[in-house]
Amino acid sequence: MTATRGAWPRPEDFAAPPGPAQRTAWSESDRVARPARIGRLRARFAQAGIDAYFGVRREHMRYLTGFTLAEGEEKSAGNSGQFLVAGDEVVILADSRYTIQARREAPEARMFEAYGNLPERWPEIVGSVGARRIGVEAGFVSHAAWGRLAAAAPDIELVPVEGWIEADRAVKEPAELERVSAACAVADRALATLLPDIRAEVTEAELALRLEWLMRTGGAEALAFDVACLSGPEAALPHGAPGDRPVLDRSVLLFDFGAQVEGYRSDMTRTLFVGEPSARDLEVYEVVARAQAAAIDAVEEAVRGGGEMPSGRAVDAIARAVVDDAGHGVHFGHSTGHGIGLATHEAPSLGKAAAETPLPSPTVFSVEPGVYLDGEMGVRIEDLIALDAPAGRVERLTRFPSEVTVVGA
Amino acid sequence: MTATRGAWPRPEDFAAPPGPAQRTAWSESDRVARPARIGRLRARFAQAGIDAYFGVRREHMRYLTGFTLAEGEEKSAGNSGQFLVAGDEVVILADSRYTIQARREAPEARMFEAYGNLPERWPEIVGSVGARRIGVEAGFVSHAAWGRLAAAAPDIELVPVEGWIEADRAVKEPAELERVSAACAVADRALATLLPDIRAEVTEAELALRLEWLMRTGGAEALAFDVACLSGPEAALPHGAPGDRPVLDRSVLLFDFGAQVEGYRSDMTRTLFVGEPSARDLEVYEVVARAQAAAIDAVEEAVRGGGEMPSGRAVDAIARAVVDDAGHGVHFGHSTGHGIGLATHEAPSLGKAAAETPLPSPTVFSVEPGVYLDGEMGVRIEDLIALDAPAGRVERLTRFPSEVTVVGA
């Protein structure tokens, strides 16, 4: 791919936000899918020698039970939403602030009222399902909380478990992919709507807030993460925050942003040019675009070939080789991509240290190589790719073009 | 207090948002205060027999080092921002995405590059400060991560530590209280600006988004938490989320919201009346207002008396007694209040199970009794109170009146 220049996309080029009927259908899909999700979890019990599973991660609550906490709400929710999956029932903890919500969202579960005094109630709740060995989300329960549960019921064994539900969640149901795709369209439309507002002198923070507003009034119930809007040298910070800095003329402008639609998230990055690009900036852009294309092409070829899918590590290596060959290897410090769904970053990972097992299907992940020249500029291009190898599908869910886009004229 | 009715407050009744000079002065105050904050932490080392402290909580990173992650950013930041305080230096972990930021924000600290491979690097980093026994934030390091650190350097002892910096942070510096106060004013102004827009038929979600927008374009860099806007029966959910439900006429409308200004947060709740209040609703309102006044009066009296401050548990009991006496004890399930600062909920706590030690000074906490009638309505009134007993100061930082306010006419 070379850095061609296209016409500006328009908001109406992208799918309209989902209506109430679609949203209700997704909610119903989740309800129907939950028994199978719980079944997959229970199928792991025997091998690990456990008879129940104690979960605390907010994405897992929603995936398995329907109980929903907003991002960050777990910090003030105490034990509410934490759950115990036993052989034949699911129990949800909730204090008085959350009992009505839990009954609405997770009607299939039994409710257990606990008020931040879980260790005290632990023997009772565990006894009520007859469990003796309990798998516990060791990556999300604090060391201190673990110790308190262990001390509260010394005859109950706590077995550290990591990555089970994460592995299941990497494989997406059709209704999950539809929501990621809908979240991509909300973000695509928002950026297309913003384009005419971009010009030198508007600040990064103003553009970031406007882009957020467009997503949140355009079908997103929340952001996937805080909008990054970084101009010129600031774009060299792969995790920079927008500032009260005016956008620079004749410079790059990097947007990294995503929407959340019915719980599922999108994530995209576009690096635009404010005014005529310099030859150097165009050259960097082209390297990044070629690296991204090479990675996606490799996945497409593997699907066409019908053989084994490449691993996340292999796809990362393909993108990295293009950047290396252009002499920018040291300017590409992060991973090539990550899975996405209820969390912005989830399995599968595409990076130097990622698994060497084939990518799962159906799944969805970002491909987002970047080149960062400290103190000068940075370019990243990020799209979400849906992969379903058995169905022969590799689809770019991010529809906003990645051709060179010049704004601010 | 009785439920009197006042004129609508106007935006200009409240302090204007801080300008750049004020913000720079606060940043400078932090820089000057950090050595003393770190000194207080080190002063605890001997008693616990440790020679270094490993911290991972994002509020602690900012408080002690200046390194700042946005809410939720710690989920994708890996080890970046985690820190080690040794006897004579502070070390901050950062991967390539965060090194430039860490150098800017925490110039006094030594940087240590780690890429999510902390256990592997642990012996090296710990060795570099010569530590043998390390206090670790056991309430925030996961059980799995703790096990990996322990295995990586079996000769280094990990000592669980909880609540040290939380206790220090409960006592506020003047520049911290100023920022909480500024965040209160941003929220006060935003609600005053919103009042004319409130009427039956506008949805909860629309009003919540508008209120958020007003705060974020009115001086707040972020929200303290998602805005709650709950109409009629929904106000009976102490943690409900705004929906696409139109606001009901002749009903209560509860807003719980807060702003963040230079890292510090506010939290306020107002229960307004859309159209003429019913006698029952007014009666509930008056009970809650009296409970709040009783709690604040008790703190004021203690300060005037010059003796020992009441405990958080005692203040809770005072508010609760008023609600109990009115026959609504069972409708007030949550605590009376909480400290606030870099986190929305922090020490000191005002609740049934709170500490029985006297409230610290200077400090700031919410007083927010509520009465919730399931399926019917709910009322909560929440203000932030700054307390400095030695200085004889008890000040309501939330300035929006709490008299009965009728809107939607």
Residues A86 and A7 in one domain: no
CA angle in degrees (0–180, nearest 5) for A74-A77-A78: 100
> Does B216 contact A at CB distance below 8 Å?
yes
List B373's β-bridge partners, or say none.
B377
Contact A228, A255 (CB under 8 A): yes
| Whole-number percent of chain A with pLDDT over 70 | 99
Residue A31 lies in a domain: no
What pLDDT score does A75 carry? 84
CA distance A367 to A294: 10
Residue length, chain A? 409
Interface contact flag, A160 B147, Cβ < 8 Å: yes
Q: Does the structure show a pLDDT above 70 at A1?
A: no
Residues B203-217: tens digit of each pLDDT: 999 999 999 999 999
Q: What is the pLDDT of residue B340?
A: 98
Spatial distance between the Cα atoms of A298 and A296, rounded to a whole number of angstroms: 5
Q: Which candidate, A338, A294, A298, places its Cα nearest to that of A320?
A: A294
CB neighbour burial string for A241-279, b if at least 16 within 10 angstroms, e if fewer:
bbeeeebbeebbbbbbbbbbbbbbbbbbbbbbbbeebee
Residues A380-384, mean pLDDT to the nearest whole number: 98
CA dist., res. A387 & res. A172, Å (int): 10
**Model confidence over B59-89: pLDDT tens digits?**
999 999 999 998 888 888 889 999 999 999 9
The answer, yes or no, to whether residue B238 has pLDDT greater than 80, is: no
Nearest-angstrom CA–CA distance, A187 and A384: 12
Q: Do B238 and A144 touch (CB under 8 A)?
A: no
- Contact status of A213 with chain B (Cβ, < 8 Å): yes
**Angle at the Cα of B76 from the Cα atoms of A80 and A105, rounded to 5 degrees:** 25
pLDDT in tens, A84-130: 999 999 999 998 888 888 999 999 999 999 877 899 999 999 999 99
CATH number at residue A279: 3.90.230.10
Q: Give chain A positions within 8 Å (CB) of B150.
A: none
In the prediction, which pLDDT does A3 show? 56
Instruction: Take residue B313 and report the two structure tokens written for it.
Output: 């548990």
Q: Average model confidence (pLDDT) for chain A? A: 95
Tokens of A36: 């199978």
- Partners of residue A226 in chain B, C-beta under 8 Å: 70, 73
How high does pLDDT run on average in chain B? 95
> For B78, which residue in chain A has the nearest alpha carbon?
A345
CB-based contacts of A182, cutoff 8 Å, min separation 6: A15, A17, A18, A22, A219, A261, A262, A264
- Reduced to 3 states (helix: H, G, I; strand: E, B; else coil), residue B270 is strand
Interface test with B, best of A142, A223, A316 (most B CBs within 10 A): A142
Q: Is the distance from CB of A274 to CB of A354 less than 8 angstroms?
A: no
Dihedral in degrees, nearest 10, Cα atoms B74, B75, B76, B80: 30
When pLDDT is averaged across residues A308-330 and rounded to a whole number, the result is: 98
* Residue A313 near residue A356, CB atoms below 8 Å: yes
Among chain B residues, the shortest Cα distance to A146 is held by B143
A213 and A162 fall within a common domain: no
CB-nearest partner of B143 from A71, A138, A374: A138
Verify that B56 and B150 share a domain, yes or no. Answer: yes
Confidence of residue B1 (pLDDT cuts 50, 70, 90): very low
Residues B380, B239 within the same domain: yes
Do residues A236 and A195 both lie within one domain? yes
What are B9-47's pLDDT values in tens digits? 999 999 999 999 999 999 999 999 999 999 999 999 999
Tokens 């860490």, residue located: B102
Name, of A232-236, A372-376, B37-41, the range with top average pLDDT: B37-41
CA atoms within a 13 Å half-sphere pointing along the CA-CB vector of B307: 6
Exposure of B148 in the CB half-sphere (CA atoms within 13 A): 16
- Pairing between β-strand A406-407 and β-strand A268-274 as defined by DSSP bridges: parallel
- pLDDT of B138: 98
Assigned domain for A351 exists: yes
Distance from the B306 Cα atom to the nearest Cα atom in chain A, whole angstroms:
34
The count of other CB atoms within 10 Å of the CB of residue B376 is 15
CA–CA gap between residue B152 and residue B154 (Å, rounded): 6
What does each C-alpha distance from B207 to A25, A206, B193, B220, B327 come to in angstroms?
27, 21, 12, 18, 33
Of the residues A169, A193, A226, the one at which a domain ends: A169
Backbone angles phi, psi at B112, to 5 degrees: -130, 115
Which of B135, B169, B203 is at the close of a domain? B169
- CA distance to partner chain A, nearest, from residue B285 (Å): 19
Q: Which of A169, A192, A220 is the last residue of a domain?
A: A169
Do B190 and B83 reside in the same domain of the chain? Answer: no
Structural tokens at position B55: 């911290």
- Tokens in use for A317? 């290596």
Site of tokens 């602690």 = B60
User: Residue A131 phi/psi, 5° resolution?
Assistant: -90, 150
Residue bearing tokens 């390297």: A287
Task: Report d(CA A364, CA A339) in Å as an integer.
Answer: 6
Which among A298, A397, A393 is positioned nearest to A339, based on CA atoms? A397
Report the pLDDT value the prediction gives residue A21, as an integer from 0 to 100. Answer: 97
Query: Residue A143 is nearest to which of B116, B146, B345, comparing CB atoms?
Result: B146
Whether residue B285 is found in the same domain as residue B216? yes
- What are the C-alpha distances in Å from A243 to residues A382, B293, B367? 22, 41, 34
Tell me: the pLDDT tens digits for A152-201? 999 999 999 999 999 999 999 999 999 999 999 999 999 999 999 999 98
CB within 8 Å of B190: residues ≥ 6 apart: B211, B214, B215, B218, B257, B259
Min CA distance, A307 vs chain B (Å)? 32
Are the Cβ atoms of B72 and A72 closer than 8 angstroms? yes
Whether the predicted pLDDT of B3 surpasses 60: no
Chain-chain contact of B238 with A96 (C-beta, under 8 angstroms): yes
Number of alpha carbons in the 13 Å side-chain half-sphere of residue B189: 23
Give the alpha-carbon dihedral of A394, A398, A404, A409, to 10 degrees: 160
State whether B200 and B107 are in the same domain.
no
A34 occurs within a structural domain? no
Name the minimum distance, in Å, from the CA of B326 to any CA of chain A: 20
Please check whether residue B267 is in contact with residue B182, taking contact to mean a CB–CB distance below 8 angstroms. no
Residues B266, B360 within the same domain: yes
**Which residue range(s) make up the domain with B178?**
3-15+172-407
- The larger pLDDT score, comparing residue B177 to residue B4, is at B177
Statement to judge: residues B276 and B368 lie in one domain: yes
Three-class SS string for B292-318? HHHHHHHHHHHHHHCCCCCEHHHHHHH
pLDDT number for residue A238? 76
Cα(B187)–Cα(B167) distance, rounded to whole angstroms? 27
Number of domains in chain B: 2
Q: What is the dihedral of CA A284, A288, A293, A294, to 10 degrees?
A: 100
What does A337-401 look like in DSSP terms, one character per residue?
EEE-SSSSSEEEEESTTS--SBPPSSEEEEE--EEEETTTEEEE-BEEEEEETTTTEEEE---S-
Q: Which comes out higher in pLDDT, residue B358 or A5?
A: B358
Decide if B242 is inside a domain: yes
Q: Is A141 on the interface with B (CB under 8 A)?
A: yes
What's the pTM value of the predicted model, to 2 decimals? 0.94
B159 touches chain A (CB under 8 A): no
Q: From CA B401, how far away is CA B249, in angstroms rounded?
A: 22
The answer as to whether A315 is a domain residue is yes
Question: Is residue B243's pLDDT more than 90?
Answer: no
Whether residue B34 is contained in a domain is answered as no
Average pLDDT, stretch B240-245? 86
- The vertex-B107 CA angle with B102 and B112, nearest 5°, equals 55
Size of interface A-B (CB pairs under 8 A): 110
Nearest chain A Cα distance for residue B89, angstroms: 26
Q: Is the pLDDT of residue A325 over 60?
A: yes
Q: Are residues A188 and A269 in the same domain?
A: yes
Residue B33 falls within a domain, yes or no? no
Q: What share of chain B has pLDDT > 70, as a percent?
A: 99
The residue type of B390 is P
B221 and B86 fall within a common domain: no
Task: Provide the CATH number for the domain around residue B76.
Answer: 3.40.350.10
Residues B266, B185: Cα–Cα separation, whole Å: 9
Give a yes or no: residue A253 inside a domain.
yes
C-alpha span between B81 and B162 (Å, rounded): 19
